[in-house]
Structure 1
């Protein structure tokens, strides 16, 4: 799972070159031109970063080979490392050098959709049996441009052994209960960080679901609402945790995983891949038995827990071989035998009701619990609609860090963040 570790970090840190690369492609939004090539051709391409990663390439290759053999088609595969992937795909799509099916991180869908060259997969989606949350990850402006391959979320993970030692009974359900649990853990001493929350600027967009927890929509229409009373309250609360040493300075996802793996953190934020990543780092071979997914605590009872959607979709480029590519995308993401076999190999949750209900998946308590507690109410980052989403997140993160280190009051800092973000809404 180490390649997943690196891959998640690249996405979560943001891609600094993304805005410029995609801005250059913006003119295609108005007219991508007619699709080129024979849509009914029985040869198509499949581009995937997973084919470049040791942890997943065998499982992906098995899916590709099985479909090709069953349907008598030829699939030409291509791959790029994750941290180069989007720029490569963007340039090749713009230059007419990309066809067939393409794996995408869900945060990239809007940017590629703006080029006007993706096939509408609504017909495949309608018969796939996907969950509503999964379908939302592949939807752009009321069109189903991607079929969900794996759908998860960024949520909280708890170490139940640490909580038990601290005298925390049951999982905290509200912000007040969560803070109380952190204070109990702090009394354990021994170098334990109660909540290994992100405090480095590169990762501080983890504050966004907390802003939503406190009532900020982040965006209303095309207006960024960061800087409203709710987002200010969330950052002031985060600052309170920081000052009380309930969260620690200079922590990113890698640091948080290391602390948790060593039994030195009670809570931290991660994707559903957390179990495999942390287990590989931990000297405690029973750590996975002590890990529990936690629905993000709410401000008041009855509120909906907040989580950021996470996952991959398969899109199809309109044109040469696009009909067969769309059928392949449907097969890879919704055929029950295929998605459950994929889950057994890489532990990435399927996106269909039947796949999640299959004994091979349903019998995995951690994945099932994560899906029910966290992914069920996860929503996309509203900034993903913009090519400059990473820069918007950076503008917010830098100002939140300024608050944490005492350089600025929250209200002033978030007002500056919103002003910086406005010209990036393109």
Structure 2
């Protein structure tokens, strides 16, 4: 199995060190103008960060070479390191130096869509057999601007051996059952019941819990953080913190290490967790005890919450755009292609047929994750704004203030909402 290092994990979770400068550069493009070049040309470019990554380079290049050879087209590739990618793509789009197909993180689509240079891919999307969740990852402003290449989610993972040892029967389905399970696990020596994010850098993990408690986070264009439901979620999180059911100063990487060492019963991660934990765990059988679970709901019948993640292929209007669309559709929806890609890199496909292929469906962990977590995953509503990272930071810093006792949840979230309002552009 392929394993991922810390940088790979950052990349796949969309947690690069880019900062907000590049995103700010994605403000609406005032230059306008018609697309340049012959859209019907049989030569086009493909820009991808995966072609710069050792773990995926060969698998992606095989797709490019196979398609070019079978279709008689010329594909010129370009790649940039993930941490520089958004900045480079933004600058080249603005300068009219980038056409063809481009790989995008789902978190960036809204900001780049504002430049007005991406083709609407509704027609090929309708024929691709993509899942509804996958399609949603490529949508922005009411348009289908990306064809989903891999779609996953960030959700909860349990160590079933620790739960059994603590006397927890099954996995919790509601918040009340989850809290009861945490209290049982707390009786075990040296185990953190829930290695939840408590460092500001990762406290955006509170957002799915806010949704669990009923907050929309964003109501139209109105920041809803600070409503009764989000306040209740943070007060509950604070209760877990005070009861030592979650621990101080934990981020995603700390949580992974604790879980890999058998010192945490639950934590939040993406589907890449299996490979990460396998590479870190002294007990190599730990991955057999890992169980993805639907995030507990406030009351029976509610939809479990999870954060969508993944990447799409978008197409820039201009030289070779028509052929680039056909390539993007092939790379993301041809069953043999996506199943082989999964076999090589363990990134789940985005079509119903791809997920049903034996190479994918035979992987129990991926199948279970898709059904229990990705099935109901939704995008971060703040991704539509260029300053989404700053909005998340404003919320995270205020939630941390609550955890350490410097502010009430109501006061802190009111401050976060006020800051967020100034970043809606």
- What whole-Å deviation, never above 9, does each CA across 1:248-270 have from its counterpart, x for those lacking one? 11111111111111111100000
1:25, CA displacement in angstroms? 4.0
Partner of 1:326: 325
Larger displacement relative to structure 2 (281-290 or 5-14): 5-14
TM-score (norm 1): 0.97
1:10, CA displacement in angstroms? 5.4
Cα distance in 1 for partners of 2:127, 2:307 equals: 26
Is contact 2:28-2:116 (8 Å) kept? no
1:18, CA displacement in angstroms? 4.8
Q: Could you say if the C-alpha distance between residues 15 and 365 of structure 1 is closer, same or farther in structure 2, counting changes exceeding 3 Å?
A: closer
Give structure 2 stretches of 5+ with no counterpart: none
| Alignment of 1:21 onto 2:26 | no
Partner of 2:56: 56
Is contact 1:31-1:116 (8 Å) kept? no
Is contact 1:150-1:351 (8 Å) kept? yes
TM-score (norm 2): 0.97
Partner of 2:286: 287
Is contact 2:10-2:16 (8 Å) kept? no
Partner of 1:158: 158
Partner of 2:365: 366
- What whole-Å deviation, never above 9, does each CA across 1:364-421 have from its counterpart, x for those lacking one? 1111111110111111000000000000000000000000011111100000000011
Partner of 1:408: 407
Partner of 2:276: 277
Cα distance in 2 for partners of 1:24, 1:288 equals: 42
Partner of 2:205: 206
1:359, CA displacement in angstroms? 1.1
Partner of 1:34: 34
Cα distance in 2 for partners of 1:153, 1:370 equals: 9
Is contact 1:105-1:313 (8 Å) kept? yes
Q: Could you say if the C-alpha distance between residues 14 and 398 of structure 1 is closer, same or farther in structure 2, counting changes exceeding 3 Å?
A: farther
1:181-192 counterparts in 2 under 5 A? Answer: 181-189=181-189, 191-192=190-191
Partner of 1:345: 344
Larger displacement relative to structure 2 (390-399 or 352-361): 352-361
Cα distance in 2 for partners of 1:15, 1:409 equals: 31
Is contact 1:3-1:53 (8 Å) kept? no
- SS across alignment from 1:26: coil
| Alignment of 1:110 onto 2:118 | no
Partner of 1:140: 140
Q: Could you say if the C-alpha distance between residues 323 and 127 of structure 1 is closer, same or farther in structure 2, counting changes exceeding 3 Å?
A: same
Is contact 2:211-2:217 (8 Å) kept? yes
| Alignment of 1:6 onto 2:1 | no
Give structure 1 stretches of 5+ with no counterpart: none
Is contact 2:17-2:83 (8 Å) kept? no
| Alignment of 1:73 onto 2:73 | yes
Cα distance in 2 for partners of 1:65, 1:262 equals: 42
Q: Could you say if the C-alpha distance between residues 363 and 27 of structure 1 is closer, same or farther in structure 2, counting changes exceeding 3 Å?
A: closer
Cα distance in 1 for partners of 2:137, 2:14 equals: 20
Q: Could you say if the C-alpha distance between residues 98 and 4 of structure 1 is closer, same or farther in structure 2, counting changes exceeding 3 Å?
A: farther
Q: Could you say if the C-alpha distance between residues 401 and 380 of structure 1 is closer, same or farther in structure 2, counting changes exceeding 3 Å?
A: same
1:9, CA displacement in angstroms? 2.6
Is contact 1:182-1:195 (8 Å) kept? yes
Is contact 1:125-1:135 (8 Å) kept? yes
1:51, CA displacement in angstroms? 1.0
1:251-266 counterparts in 2 under 5 A? Answer: 251-266=250-265
1:271, CA displacement in angstroms? 0.6
- What whole-Å deviation, never above 9, does each CA across 1:200-226 have from its counterpart, x for those lacking one? 101000000000000111010100110
Larger displacement relative to structure 2 (81-90 or 411-420): 81-90
1:58, CA displacement in angstroms? 1.1
CA RMSD of aligned residues (A): 1.4
1:38, CA displacement in angstroms? 0.8
Cα distance in 1 for partners of 2:262, 2:276 equals: 14
Is contact 2:43-2:75 (8 Å) kept? yes
- SS across alignment from 1:424: coil
Is contact 2:339-2:357 (8 Å) kept? yes
Is contact 2:155-2:268 (8 Å) kept? yes
Q: Could you say if the C-alpha distance between residues 224 and 14 of structure 1 is closer, same or farther in structure 2, counting changes exceeding 3 Å?
A: farther
